[in-house]
Every structure is written in structure tokens, then in C-alpha cells.
Amino acid sequence: MRPVGAAFAAVVLSLWLTASAVSASHGVVTVRIEAATWQDRAAVANLGAAIREVHPDEGWLVAELDADRLGDLKVLHLPFTVIEEEDTFPADYGAYHDYAEQYAELERLADLNPDIARIASIGQTHEGREIWALKISDNAYKDEPEEGGFLLVAMHHAREILTPEVALYTARGLVESYGYDDFITAMVNEREIFVVPNINPDGGEYDHAGERFKYWRKNRRVNGL
């Protein structure tokens, strides 16, 4: 059964609003740090830490950082405590698409629907991975600047593993409903739609490498000193 326009849009919106992250530590440690001032918090951030919580009134925060940066944290002379987290991959985690599977799904949609779908790289990441996008339009291989544009980008934060699924679901719904659903057909005919299911593949692949999630948020470029 193919999705209809209004119901399809409602499901997509619901998925985006309920997207959540899965957390764990492995290679990255979670620490509670006594950081009473904004200067203290800035110093922690400059280590490349991903700050999860800030409690300025109580003067502490919770952050994740690479285990090998604990020595640098000690140099800041800010008292800290390592928090043990034992979350492992959920039983059904294999159903989620990793970076290679995301590309394969985009390629499949483009191959099966060459008139309205085109896959292309929009650039490379810090670690050299391609950032893949699927263009969906009635003239997928032609630029039509007179048409309106729509961009859907997912996986901004590496630990948001549900968001690529929403993007892939959206791409499938648009492509597979074209020619069957009047609303979606008109949307595709009158717009250039770009779906990028993973804007942060470096961070995403790092987050779920190994046996546990690392609760990583950023990309893999060194942001601190």
C-alpha cells in the first residue's frame, strides 16, 4: 500500500519529532566536571569534549571526551569524576542503516527511478568520506532554478541514529509514490528536492564502531587546542 500525501507528511513529521539518540561509552569516557565559570566550560570545550549537560547554578557539567584526553583535563585543575555507563547496542540495532547501507539505498532508488532520482556526492568529510545526496525531481539531471527547492539533511549529530532512517523513509516515499499520489507527484514535478541522509558520516561511523555507542555528537575534526 502506497502512502498518501497528507498521511505520509504526518508520519515523516512524527518521526522527526520523536527522533532520539542512544548513548554509551567505549574509548570515549563520560565525566562530571566541576566547572563554575564560563571560562572553565570554555576550557573543557577546547579539549574537544562534547558537553551533554551544563548546571551553572551548581557549577558542574557532564561531558564526553576521548579517554586519552583525561591527562589534558587534569592540567586544567578542575575536579572531575568518571561516570560509568554500560549501555550496549540494542537487540534490533542491526535494522538501522550504516553509512555503506545508506549509500546502497540511495543508489537503489536512483537506479530504479532514473527519470526522477539522481545520486551525487556534495563533498567529502574530514576523513575523506563522500557526503551523498539524492536529488528527486521530474528532471533529476537538469538544473531548474525557476523551481522551488527543498533540502532534507539528517545525522547532524553523530549519535542521532534515527534521523537517517527518517531521511531514507522520506526519499522512498517520494520516489515510490510518484505517479500514484497526486500530491506527491505535484510536489516532485514543481520542486527540486535534495535528501542528504548523513551529513556527518565520520562522527556516525565513529559513534557505533566497536561494541558500544560512544554517545559522540560532533564530527571527527579536532575542534579544541
Within 13 Å, how many C-alpha atoms sit on residue 32's CB side? 9
Residue 1 has pLDDT above 70, yes or no: no
Q: What CATH number did the domain enclosing 9 receive?
A: 3.40.630.10
For the chain, the average pLDDT equals 86
CA nearest to 136, candidates 109, 155, 159, 163: 109
Residues 6 or more apart whose CB falls under 8 angstroms from that of 183 comprise 4, 5, 6
Q: Over the stretch 154-168, which tens digit does the pLDDT of each residue have?
A: 999 998 889 999 999
Residues 6 or more apart whose CB falls under 8 angstroms from that of 9 comprise none
Considering the domain architecture, whether residues 16 and 125 belong to the same structural domain is answered as: yes
**Domain interval for residue 123:** 5-20+91-207
Residue 217 has pLDDT above 70, yes or no: yes
Do the beta carbons of residue 216 and residue 207 sit within 8 Å? Answer: yes
Taking the C-alpha atoms of residue 50 and residue 92, their distance in angstroms, rounded to an integer, is 27
Enter the pTM of the model: 0.66
Q: What CATH number did the domain enclosing 76 receive?
A: 3.30.70.790
Residues 6 or more apart whose CB falls under 8 angstroms from that of 64 comprise 25, 28, 29, 30, 31, 49, 50, 52, 214, 215, 216, 217
Considering the domain architecture, whether residues 102 and 184 belong to the same structural domain is answered as: yes
**Residue 125 counted as domain residue:** yes
Lowest mean pLDDT, pick from 13-27, 121-135, 138-152: 13-27
Q: Over the stretch 57-90, which tens digit does the pLDDT of each residue have?
A: 999 999 988 888 899 999 999 999 998 765 566 6
**Residue 214 counted as domain residue:** no
Q: Helix or strand or coil: residue 108?
A: helix
Considering the domain architecture, whether residues 79 and 52 belong to the same structural domain is answered as: yes
The amino acid that residue 215 corresponds to is Y
